[in-house]
């Protein structure tokens, strides 16, 4: 009887875990879909905002993106508000990615954009499979990720403010490495966490890492050809 109850408990736990992981990836795929709509609408959004924001368009979009990210993080457990916040963030991120893609395409064509998209997919699949197959706890990457993201964030601001193109490429390399490590860490945490009540939060974290990898790769590949 005890063995049967133990087996049933294990079976139910496994089913709950699978449902949680499935929910996280459904949220993530939904975010990709919304971001794609944002990217397609990027030219129209830019034309609508340029008369208002002028040459500060990039900073305005960055401020909106950062604000929606904080909002989405704060309400990730509060349905249905979490859905609205997630849609807002992923749409704005898609708009920014679309604008960056157009800028890269003007200087180097669309090949760097498609290559960056493909490489981002490869990174995602490779690191996800690594976390699932190895079953390791990658939380030891915490300090590396924190330092890497801090360098990425402040370095990107410095490169944008002072127009440091070469430094921007270096920071993009740091972003790819740091966000890849964070992706591995987040995936490992998703597979090991005992708190299965926040799929939106995990999806948001994965989306941010993949978004940053994509933007950084576009900058690296496009910057080399401009």
Place of tokens 């410095």: 158
pLDDT of 6: 44
Question: Cα–Cα distance between 106 and 152 in angstroms, integer?
Answer: 25
Burial class (CB in 10 A: 0-12, 13-18, 19+), 148: buried
**Cα separation, 83 vs 209, whole angstroms:** 19
pLDDT number for residue 50: 84
Kindly provide the b/e burial profile for residues 90-123, where b requires at least 16 CB atoms within 10 angstroms of the residue's own CB: bbbbbbbbbbbbebbbeebeeebbeebeebbeeb
Cα 55 to the chain's mean position, in Å? 26
Evaluate whether 150 touches 198 at the Cβ level (below 8 Å).
no
69 and 208 in contact (C-beta within 8 Å)? yes
Distance of CA 174 to the CA centre of its chain: 15
Query: Both tokens of residue 38?
Result: 């944002």
Residue among 38, 71, 37, 42 nearest 57 (CA): 42
Sign for the pseudo-dihedral over CA of 149, 154, 159, 160: positive
pLDDT value of position 10? 52
**For residue 149, how many C-alpha atoms fall within 13 Å in the half-sphere facing its CB?**
15
Three-class secondary structure assignment of 16-85: HHHHHHHHHHHHHHHHHHHHHHHHHCHHHHHHHHHHHHHHHHHHHHHHHHHHHHHHHHHCCCCCCHHHHH
Phi first, then psi, for residue 200 (nearest 5°) are -65, -40
Our CA angle for 68, 93, 53, nearest 5°, is 80
HSE-up of 60 (CA within 13 Å, CB side)?
13
pLDDT of the chain, 226 residues: tens digit per residue: 454 444 344 566 678 889 999 999 999 999 999 999 999 999 999 888 888 888 888 899 999 999 999 999 999 999 899 999 999 999 999 999 999 999 999 988 999 999 999 999 999 999 999 999 998 999 999 999 999 999 999 999 999 889 898 999 999 999 999 999 999 999 999 999 888 989 999 999 999 999 999 999 999 998 755 4
* CA 188 distance to own-chain centroid: 16
Predicted model pTM: 0.91
Quick check: helix, strand or coil at residue 90? helix
């Amino acid at each position: 009887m005890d063995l049967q109850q133990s087996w049933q408990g294990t079976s139910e736990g496994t089913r709950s875990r699978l449902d949680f992981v499935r929910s996280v990836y459904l949220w993530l795929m939904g975010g990709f879909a919304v971001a794609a709509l944002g990217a397609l609408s990027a030219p129209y959004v830019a034309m609508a905002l340029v008369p208002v924001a002028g040459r500060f368009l990039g900073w305005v979009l960055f401020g909106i993106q950062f604000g929606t990210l904080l909002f989405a993080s704060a309400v990730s457990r509060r349905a249905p508000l979490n859905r609205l916040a997630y849609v807002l963030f992923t749409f704005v991120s898609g708009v920014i990615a679309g604008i960056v893609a157009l800028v890269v395409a003007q200087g180097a064509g669309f090949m760097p954009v498609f290559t960056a998209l493909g490489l981002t997919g490869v990174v995602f699949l490779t690191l996800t499979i690594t976390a699932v197959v190895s079953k390791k706890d990658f939380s030891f990457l915490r300090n590396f990720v924190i330092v890497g993201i801090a360098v990425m964030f402040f370095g990107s601001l410095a490169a944008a403010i002072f127009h440091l193109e070469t430094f921007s490429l270096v920071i993009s390399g740091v972003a790819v490495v740091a966000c890849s490590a964070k992706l591995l860490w987040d995936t490992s945490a998703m597979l090991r966490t005992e708190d299965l009540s926040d799929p939106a939060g995990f999806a948001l974290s994965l989306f941010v890492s993949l978004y940053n990898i994509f933007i950084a790769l576009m900058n690296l590949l496009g910057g080399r050809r401009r």
